[in-house]
Structure 1
Amino acid sequence: MQKGLTPATAGLLLLPPMLWAGNAVVGRMMVGLVPPMTLNLLRWVLAFLLLLPLAGSLLRREGPLWPHWRRFAVLGLLGVGCYNALQYLALKTSTPLNVTLVASSTPVFMLGIGAIWFGQRVSRTQVLGATMSVVGVLVVLSRGDWDLLMRVRLVPGDIFILIATAAWAVYSWLLLRPGDPPEIRSDWAAFLMAQIVFGLGWSGLFAAGEWASAPQHVAWGWPVIAALAYVAIGPAVVAYRSWGLGVQRVGPNTAGFFYNLTPLFAALLSAALLGEMPHLYHAAAFVLIVGGILVSSRR
């Protein structure tokens, strides 16, 4: 049952964009060290191993997962198999500015898919909130210089992140569909494990195609090991748990605006790693994005 936006729920929905911002930075650092589809597969293999002690019983032949395999195969395809694989692929073939710009369309996808496929009414306040949020993202991406934004040109990698964004929006709406076995829905580890089980199949299929299409290599070393540990624990297990719970509480439309904080956190993280101090436009963007969240969540 969806409820209003509370401080506790806001905290849940703030954590994923922070972790996903780090995921984008790490994904960019891994370009040339790990192939993108392989990086996604290794990430979810580690996440599977982390969840095994918590939800391993779900894999029993007589367990509640298998009668519902079609639903979890779709969730695994969208949330595990496609989204991050396409993001890593986009970071390889496109610029971070373009990738983040295209991903900022998440609230639009959330509202549009909800209205078209799930019969959800889009209110004026949600449209206003979406506009404020997207403008805030554009302020960050343009660094306060709109001429820079006008010079952005889309490349094939931007198409990958566009498809990933659409997949994530559908995935978030599907989280709300009823009918999951109570023993899976009520246990966050089991619910995520149910998606990973089938998502590993999709991820493995995509990685196999990557290695079959051209020679690949993994530059094993501490940087790669540390990166895999981060993307498996933080953006995968912790972020997906927080996101799923937050979406169940307030719905995909409101949650979609929190997703738009990802580029803001990415900008701040990049600035910290480069030794650059935040600028005034960061504060202006933060006000716009948070304002959009608050406006859109008004009931």
Structure 2
Amino acid sequence: MRYQAFLFLLLCNLLWAGNFVFGKILINEFSPMWITFLRWLIACSLLFPIAARYENLSYDMMKKILKNSWVILTCMGITGGILFNLFTYSALQFTTPTNGTLVFSLTPAITMIFSFIIWKEKISLVQLSGLIVSFLGVTTLLTGGKLMQVFQMDLNKGDLLMIGADVCWMIYAFLCKMSDRIPPVTAVALSSLIAVVIMIPFLIVQPLPIYQISTMGFNGILYVGFFASVCAFVLWNFSVRTVGTNIANLTVNLIPVYTAMITLLLGGVITGAQLWGGGMVILGLLLTSQKRNDSIEIYVSTPDVDICKSAEKCPYCAN
């Protein structure tokens, strides 16, 4: 069972990497709003039956959950369902899928910083060094290896938009902890439904050019709606329950590796700045994932708070 869980994690992160690759293709035929809307519309149509079947919830029970928790579910729908995807697909208009996933992989480091600021969570010297290395790696990506451009503000707009996506996902992770009493698939289904409803008025001002959609565009929408949303989530859910949150979270670092491999297979090019920056990001993430050592901690009197402690109940806080 444990080996099966690791296999599922490998496949899950591969599906998420494909979301960035297909997103780069889709942005040429759809607006970011339409990609986001269609993605969650497809996902909703499948997640509700899955929740009813595997979480033993009737639709009346789901309506009761929605009535009692509509505020947090709405916030989840806006941050994780709408804004995160709008930032991501907008970023892919200006940057490569490889850069996008590498900047996205900085999310745990950003979350750790905000946890320290808001909840005074302790950070060890090893983790602090990991944060520094990660940010240097992302800076290398943002500037194409020309670090002095940081002071000239001549940066890649797409990579900066991905930092916005990181912040949205971090907020979504905090909301994830607050909603840990809601069954996970049901929480995703309900928050996604809310996101779909909120987006409808905005779609009126940007009609979908149906007759211009290619076969690749149609297949890409099916991919991000079914494989990158429903299938990846179910695989993640099973794996987290089997191997635990900490081990599962480490495998998310495979997303930029998978993306680079897919890009090469499709005839793309990986630059030296991406290799150096990506290597630094992954090294930094490995350091930040290390367990704290009390002998070298930055001391703060407030007790520790683990924002992803409940991810076994709420696994979607990891992508």
TM-score by length of structure 2 reads 0.69
Alignment of 1:183-202 (within 5 A): 184-185=182-183, 188-202=184-198
- Please give the alpha-carbon distance, in whole angstroms, between the structure 2 residues aligned to 1:290 and 1:9: 24
Q: Deviations over 1:212-261 (max 9, x none)?
A: xxx65242332122111110122212334556774994369x93x65444
In the other structure, the counterpart of 1:239 is 232
CA shift for structure 1 position 52: 3.0
Question: Which one is further off, 109-118 or 94-103?
Answer: 94-103
Q: Does 1:207 align with 2:208?
A: no
The Cα offsets for residues 256-292 of structure 1, whole Å up to 9 and x where unpaired, read as x65444333221210111177999x969956972674
Counterpart of 2:28 in structure 1 is 32
> In 2, Cα distance between the equivalents of 1:89 and 1:284?
22
Size of the aligned set, in residue pairs, is 279
Q: Does the CA-based 8 Å contact 1:137-1:264 persist in structure 2?
A: no
1:87 maps to which residue?
88
Partner of 2:259: 266
2:245 aligned partner: 250
Contact 2:76 2:172 in 1 (8 A): yes
Letter of the 2:161 partner, please give it: F
Q: Please report how far the alpha carbon of residue 43 of structure 1 lies from its aligned counterpart in structure 2 after TM superposition.
A: 0.8
Q: SS at the partner of 2:92?
A: helix
User: Is this contact kept in 2: 1:264–1:286, CA < 8 A?
Assistant: no
The structural deviation recorded for 1:135 is: 5.7
C-alpha deviation, 1:22, in angstroms: 1.3
Distance 2:213 2:112 in 1: 42
Structure 2 distance, partners of 1:120, 1:164, is 23
Match of 2:313 in 1: none
Q: Greater CA deviation, 35-44 or 260-269?
A: 260-269
Deviations 1:134-185 (A, max 9, x none): 566678x59xx974666683255444322211010111232122662xxx42
Paired position in structure 1 for 2:302: none
Distance 1:296 1:95, change over 3 A: closer
- Cα displacement string for residues 165-214 of structure 1 (whole angstroms, at most 9, x for unaligned residues): 1010111232122662xxx42xx4223212212121233344345x1xxx
Match of 2:60 in 1: 60
CA contact (8 A) 1:94 1:157 kept: yes
- Give 1:107's aligned residue: 108
C-alpha separation between the residues in 1 aligned to 2:235 and 2:134? 21
RMSD across aligned positions (CA): 4.1
Over 3 Å counting, the alpha-carbon distance change for 1:179 and 1:157 in structure 2 is closer
Give deviations 1:5-28, integer Å, cap 9, x for gaps. Answer: x98887666555432321111111
Confirm whether residue 120 of structure 1 aligns to residue 112 of structure 2.
no
Alignment counterpart, residue 23 of structure 1, candidates 10, 19, 22: 19
**What stretches of structure 2 of length at least 5 have no aligned partner?**
293-319
What is the aligned partner in structure 2 of residue 230 from structure 1? 223
Q: Distance in 2 between matches of 1:105 and 1:277?
A: 19
Identity of aligned residues (%): 27
Q: 1:168 to 1:133 in 2, by over 3 A?
A: same
Q: Which runs of 5+ in 1 are unaligned?
A: 1-5
Aligned-partner Cα distance in 1 for 2:145–2:180:
50
Query: Is the Cα–Cα contact under 8 Å of residues 12 and 246 in structure 1 kept in the other structure?
Result: no
Q: Provide closer, same or farther for how the CA distance between residues 265 and 78 of structure 1 changes in structure 2, counting only shifts above 3 A.
A: same
The separation in 1 between residues aligned to 2:9 and 2:115, in whole angstroms, is: 19
Structure 1 178/155 Cα, relative in aligned 2: closer, same or farther at 3 Å? closer
Q: Is the 8 A contact 2:134 2:280 kept in 1?
A: no
Moved more, 106-115 or 37-46: 106-115
Residue type of the partner of 1:42?
L
1:10-62 CA deviation, whole Å, 9 max, x = no partner?
76665554323211111111122111110110011011111232235554375
Distance change >3 Å, CA 273–CA 30, structure 1 → 2:
same
Q: Partners of 1:283 and 1:157 in 2: how far apart?
A: 19
Cα distance in 1, alignment partners of residues 112 and 290 from structure 2: 13
| Aligned-partner SS, 1:297 | coil
Q: 1:246 and 1:170 mapped to 2: Cα distance?
A: 21
